[in-house]
Structure 1
């Protein structure tokens, strides 16, 4: 029987997502990834290289899924609140993604070395910033904040609901309501990013 390379790589990526989301890039173990996937760990080195490269492959794959599910180009500037709502929905359905980003930020974010898949991710986020800049130029979004910082604020606001669950619990007395949380994010992004009234 022929070896199904693509299937094996996907099994390893899926297992690595779980491992990295739970333990972070420093705490993750190649042996556990292999065991979760039911694949010999030598395949990880063969297909992905070392643990850092596997983490990079996981982030690139997960970022690609988000970009495909929620393309910003399809959202006009005035709809940035709706974009935030769709990103919120994605994170609700895929909580591991926020965890991966949080782990990376905690364990890699301030280091001088290149981030996992940094050139591709820089290009991806560059497209988002360009879309925001175009919407600002068209008068659809506030020009009070430069486009990169505005996009960062939107991403940060959405991600905070998933990376700071303890604050949600403390501030809302444990009475979380996903629909109300989503509506709050959408409303806040619309108010924060909308053009100044004339």
Structure 2
């Protein structure tokens, strides 16, 4: 078996640190996350966190950027089917609850968004504006407001109180299709 090059070793170590950081940050957030636990989970010296990412904040940002990039690739937005985008994003977040938790922590603990987040949201706002121009010419709703409402609808069940989730049967697989249909319908009405 061939030995890994230094570049391959470095990339593997960074990946292990990112994976360990995902677990730590989704459980404890940025403020509660500890570099000692991250390094231990990754099986490396904590000094490598500072070498590769600068500090804990840099590591947290790298985790968020990686997850946002993945989400953008897996769930692209188009102006042709915003209801379909909403359902796809809902499905992605249901299948990847860690991503939703990390983004919630990010929203709670970080004031400034990354450049990749700004770019992603610009594209999404543009897609909403194009959909409005086609489906609802003369709409008085700002595209950014409509996008915020769509994203709120997408995240409504994952952010709902445990009591509401229980009462509504949110974890019942038989209800998943109904929730997706309701989401598609609500977004359709929102943009027309």
Look up the match of 1:58.
63
1:29 and 2:34 correspond? yes
After superposition, the Cα gap between the structure-2 partners of 1:36 and 1:98, relative to the gap in structure 1 and judged at 3 Å, is same
Deviations 1:51-99 (A, max 9, x none): 11111111111000000001113x51xx211110100111011101111
- Contact kept, 8 Å, 1:99 with 1:163, in 2: the verdict is no
Counterparts of 1:6-85 in structure 2 under 5 Å? 6-73=11-78, 75-76=79-80, 79-85=81-87
2:156 aligns with one of 160, 164, 170: 160
After superposition, the Cα gap between the structure-2 partners of 1:142 and 1:166, relative to the gap in structure 1 and judged at 3 Å, is farther
- Contact kept, 8 Å, 1:15 with 1:36, in 2: the verdict is yes
CA distance in 2 between counterparts of 1:165 and 1:180 reads: 19
CA shift for structure 1 position 141? 7.7
CA shift for structure 1 position 161? 1.4
2:188 aligns with one of 181, 187, 190: 190
After superposition, the Cα gap between the structure-2 partners of 1:142 and 1:81, relative to the gap in structure 1 and judged at 3 Å, is farther
Look up the match of 2:105.
103
Look up the match of 1:91.
93
Look up the match of 1:130.
126
After superposition, the Cα gap between the structure-2 partners of 1:148 and 1:174, relative to the gap in structure 1 and judged at 3 Å, is closer
Segments of 4+ in structure 1 off by > 3 A?
A: 173-176
- Uncovered stretches (5+) of structure 1, i.e. residues with no partner: none
CA distance in 2 between counterparts of 1:159 and 1:107 reads: 18
CA shift for structure 1 position 155? 0.8
TM-score normalized by the length of structure 1: 0.84
The count of residues paired between Structure 1 and Structure 2 equals 185
CA shift for structure 1 position 102? 1.2
TM-score normalized by the length of structure 2: 0.87
CA RMSD of aligned residues (A): 2.0
